[in-house]
Structure 1
Amino acid sequence: MEAMPAEGDREQQLLDAAQTLIREGRTLNISLGEVADRVGVSRSLLYVYFDGVPAIIDALFLQHLDRLAARILPELDSAEASYRERASAAYAAYLDYLIESGPILQLILRERHQDSPLGAESQRQFRRLLRRVAEDTRRALSLAPREAFVLLELTAGIPEALARLVRGGEIDREAAHATCRRLVTASVDGFAVAPTT
């Protein structure tokens, strides 16, 4: 007789199925029926865990945001490293996260403005992480807050594009890391305040 999955296991199976559907379609436009079919359960069972697709997407977002924060924050908190070294290490960690996890966070954030599936806690945690990284960037490079956010948005595209190439088999991970390091450090160097004489 087959053992029944534990509560946490079933919930994770549902999240994994939703994640796979989002990756395959590159959209958040999934249905409860598709998730149920992927796991081989009834739609009514999904309601035991989630009250709809937005709740599933919100749970996925929080899960991925926690994973990302666990990777990049230790890199940024390295007291003995320069900002340039910390930023390079944080973007390398982001690259690894994207290679391993795919673009789930990007897809959710891209579609959040249309009909946001994110709950208040997800939004709060995302803003907290973004402010933390932006404030570190602002202080280190003597930028205005808006400039720091723009720099982060522009440089985030570097590991995002490289991860897509690695996942597509166009370049290897080592080449992606070398390219990421070069481009991120050049960006940081370009924004660094030159010492006055």
Structure 2
Amino acid sequence: MRRLNLFIKRIVDICGSLLGIILLSPLLLIIALAIKFNSNGPVFFTQDRLGKNGKVFKILKFRTMVVNAERIGSGLSIHTENDNRITKVGKILRATSLDELPQLWNVLSGEMSIVGPRPPIPYHPYKYEEYNDFQRRRFDMKPGITGLSQVTVRNSVTWDEKIVLDIEYVDSFNFWLDLRMLLKTIKVIIKRENIYG
């Protein structure tokens, strides 16, 4: 049954991401132009992330911060929407999660899934080798654009607490659970809670 659910999940990922890219292409273009006219730098932001089984891949997002923001101020930490590294357009994209839309390409290419644990940076908060056997189970599935921790706690709890939720998802996932996660994602985006923790 699990193998069948994984097969269905991949079919949904391919069809959903392809359809999303096609239907949202006008919006993607508008966002790209807004970013380009609002600040200097590339439209897209790429970053190494840990994927399934700890494999590193390049995640794709719309750029919401100034170039080299990771090396300025508080580095990887973003505690408030008033962080001066976030651009004007970036504030809107982050508040609405529209900055995540380019990850549809990651889903189409097979590096990510629409629903799954969020992929961490390879060296933060832990390196892959530093996760214990239980925690490493979160990497048994492809990372997702949205997931159980995103629709329940978002950024209001610690990374270790999120891992427990991620493993709960990995152990119990099925098509209907993914569908519920997608519907809850819309609700979370509208409520705009715990964006920055």
Question: TM-score over 0.5 for the alignment?
Answer: no
Query: TM-score scaled by structure 2?
Result: 0.29
Please, what TM-score do these two structures have when normalized by structure 1? 0.29
Q: Which has the higher helix share?
A: 1
* Structure with the greater alpha carbon radius of gyration: 1
